Amino acid sequence: MATSKIMNRRDLEFLLYEWLDVEQLLTREHYAEHDRETFDSVLDLSEQLAEDHFAPLNRLADTDEPYVGGDGRVVQPAQVHQALAAYTASGLPASVFDAERGGLQLPFVVHQAASSYLQAASIGVFAYPFLAEGNAGLLVAHGTPEQVATYADPVIAGRWYGTMALSEPQAGSSLGDLTTSAVRQDDGNYRLTGTKMWISGGDHELAENIVHLVLARTPGAAPGVRGISLFIVPKHLVEADGSLGERNDVALVGLNHKMGYRATTNTLLTFGEGLATPGGRVGAVGHLVGEEGLGLGYMFHMMNEARVSVGAGAVALGYTGYLHALDYARTRTQGRTLQHKDPTSPPVPLTAHPDVRRMLLAQKAYVEGGLALVLFCALLVDESRTQPDPEAAREADQLLGLLTPVAKSWPSQWCLAANDLAIQVHGGYGYTRDHPVEQLYRDNRLNPIHEGTAGIQALDLLGRKVREDDGAALRLLGTRIHAATRAATRAGGPAATYAAALDDAWSDVVRVTGVLWEKGDPVLALANASLYLEAVGHVVVAWLWLEQLIVAGEREGAFYDGKRAAARYFFAFELPTTGPRLALLASLDTTTLDLDPDVL
């Protein structure tokens, strides 16, 4: 069987079974019906779907991007419909949902590993079921039984898709400034009026219905984020028997044309303007989720899982780019090394050149480290949901909250850097459409912005997560890191050297965190929060590389040699870069605060 250029199955198996030991989840009642064979079958099925249906259309979905036809409907290549139909038929859309909802009750970590194949093969197409999964998960967690049966179950079954409609043209990521209104009616429902922007999957003809989860304000609501409520607003109204009724007053105004993720419609929608129901009812019918004023809290249920999945998508794109670059470098012959300067000697493979090896090793360190990060966070989701020890479950949830901004942002920055290096390895061919790496870079460039920009994640990490419960989550992370460094010290050799460097780096993180907040001035503390996010992200990934190195130990074979080489690279080239970042943070530099914007 040819080596896949989509994902590395051997690496997935190493991370799942040798490092994370996901088979221990099988002792939990929730997963007792599964076994290792089930997990492997899901990976096999995902790989087959990726190879047969998603990867072949990735270029087509990029070049033939969605457009609005003469009848006002979105037009997309038939292959997009066919790939998504195959995914629905596989039963995988329901994989993480409980059996009572028709799901497979699969561990989230296994689902995330399997999904990496689809994200790498065609992330723009896979975005539709990815968004739908989060949409249904929110409703299952916070909706009424009737809402779950009416709106979540068809999404879980793959017949409908879903969105989250947060941003507005004038507000962007500043959700406290949104103006979409929702007015309660005599029948208990609401009528929504307003405009939403950048809504991925906001309109298409790929499913029978689209369930929009919309943030809006009710009359007299408090200003800012405390006055936001959450509403279910279906594209088509749903009758009492579950059949589809008339079109709701949700209208597609236009499509945004993106540099990447082009298969995913990115929409401007209006609610309650009468544009979708000419001559009929005006006002988009919505159904309140939970209580008024608590909508943003409910939405974060979907957003936080989506942030981890965005990080996973960034990893998948970086990973497949690395595999393409590796294959190209092994087969492309060009030039001669310093050891073979004879111009009459045959050209050597690109891998013979040290600088190309450096670029490939950097990619490997980024993407395999990123994959470890998102799968570890996915396992924390399972631990928080199914761990029988309440304290252990609470700690897993606490650690997941701390790592969520890291899991979203670190892969979005460094796996994008891997895509950049993949282009460089290809040379002049890299930026042409003769090879897929230029599209992979364009697709991945959106992830630093998706689900909250890197700057927003930095403010979340330094402004909230490290300070909650008097820094309990940060201490918990430190306990995990020190457990790994103690094990590495006992192992001796290079692992012990790396452990000492990691202990020093973590001590610097803790010290600098205290320095930033010792004056109690949030403006000063958060001025350079992005540097803090980068430094913490590198330290966290260094920890995960150390854990992989401990598992690899002295095992023989090219795979384990590769793990040892990538760990060596990360500790030699990457971890040391945290020192200058943390030193700058500790200086409490005010360059950006002192800057007059008029001089820019």
Q: Are 405 and 473 in contact (CB under 8 A)?
A: no
Rounded mean pLDDT of 122-150? 96
Average confidence (pLDDT) over 269-279: 81
pLDDT, tens digit, 9 for 90 and up, residues 295-336: 999 988 777 788 999 999 999 999 999 999 999 999 998 888
pLDDT digits (tens, 9 = 90+) for 90-115: 999 999 999 999 999 999 999 999 99
Q: What angle do CA 314, 443, 321 make, to 5 degrees?
A: 65
Give the DSSP letter string of 167-228.
Answer: --TTTTT-GGG---EEEE-TTS-EEEEEEEEEEET-S-SSSS-EEEEEEEE-TTPPSGGGGE
Contact 471, 514 (CB under 8 A): no
Query: Which ranges of 427-471 would DSSP assign to H, the alpha helix?
Result: 437-444, 454-460
pLDDT of residue 2: 53
Residue 141 to residue 327: CA distance in whole angstroms: 44
Token pair recorded at residue 212: 């929009």
Question: pLDDT at position 370, please?
Answer: 98
Query: Dihedral, CA atoms, 587, 541, 321, 310, nearest 10 degrees?
Result: -80
* 281 pLDDT higher than 80: no
Sequence-separated (6 or more) residues with CB below 8 Å from residue 360: 322, 325, 326, 329, 351, 421, 425
55-58: long-range contacts (C-beta < 8 A, 24 or more apart)? 55/6, 55/121, 55/122, 57/83, 57/122, 57/125, 58/121, 58/122, 58/124, 58/125, 58/436, 58/439
Q: How far apart are CA 508 and CA 505, in angstroms?
A: 5
C-beta of residue 249 within 8 angstroms of C-beta of residue 281: yes
pLDDT of residue 273: 84
- Look up tokens 């009642």; give the residue: 29
> Minimal CA–CA distance to 255: which of 202, 210, 192?
202
Angstrom distance (rounded) from CA 223 to CA 508 = 39
Told to judge if 246 belongs to the known catalytic residues of this protein, a careful annotator would answer: no
161-165 and 210-217 as β-strands: parallel, antiparallel, unpaired? parallel
Q: Which residue has the tokens 């309990």?
A: 472
Q: Could you tell me which residue, 301 or 548, shows the higher pLDDT?
A: 548
Q: Please, are residues 415 and 318 in contact by the beta-carbon 8 Å criterion? A: yes
User: pLDDT digits over 209-246, tens only?
Assistant: 999 999 999 999 998 888 999 999 999 999 999 999 99
- Provide the angle, in degrees to the nearest 10, between the axes of the packed helices 472-491 and 390-426: 70
Give the pTM. Answer: 0.96
Strand ranges (DSSP E) for 256-400?
266-271, 284-288
As a whole number of angstroms, the distance between CA 94 and CA 160 comes to 12
Distances (CA, A) of 164 to 175, 184, 302, 336: 13, 21, 8, 54
pLDDT for position 278: 66
d(CA 102, CA 494): 49
Assess contact for 129 and 161: CB atoms under 8 A.
yes
**Cα separation of 274 and 537, whole Å?**
47
User: What distance in Å separates the CA atoms of residue 8 and residue 380, rounded to the nearest whole number?
Assistant: 23
The active-site residue, picked from 47, 451, 547, 574, is 451
Cβ within 8 Å of residue 428, ≥6 positions away? none
**What does the pLDDT average to over 373-395?**
96
| Residue bearing tokens 């403010």 | 459
Q: How far apart are the first and last CA of the chain?
A: 56
Q: What are phi and psi of 223, to 5 degrees?
A: -70, 165
pLDDT at 1: 37
pLDDT digits (tens, 9 = 90+) for 462-496: 999 999 999 999 999 999 999 999 999 999 999 99
| pLDDT attached to residue 280 | 62
Answer yes or no: are the C-beta atoms of 264 and 166 closer than 8 Å: no
What is the Cα–Cα distance from 36 to 17, expressed in whole angstroms? 9
Distance of CA 414 to the CA centre of its chain: 13
Nearest partner of 552 among 567, 563, 541, judged by Cα:
563
**To the nearest whole number, what is the mean pLDDT of the chain?**
95
Q: What is the pLDDT of residues 20-32, one digit of tens each?
A: 999 999 999 999 9
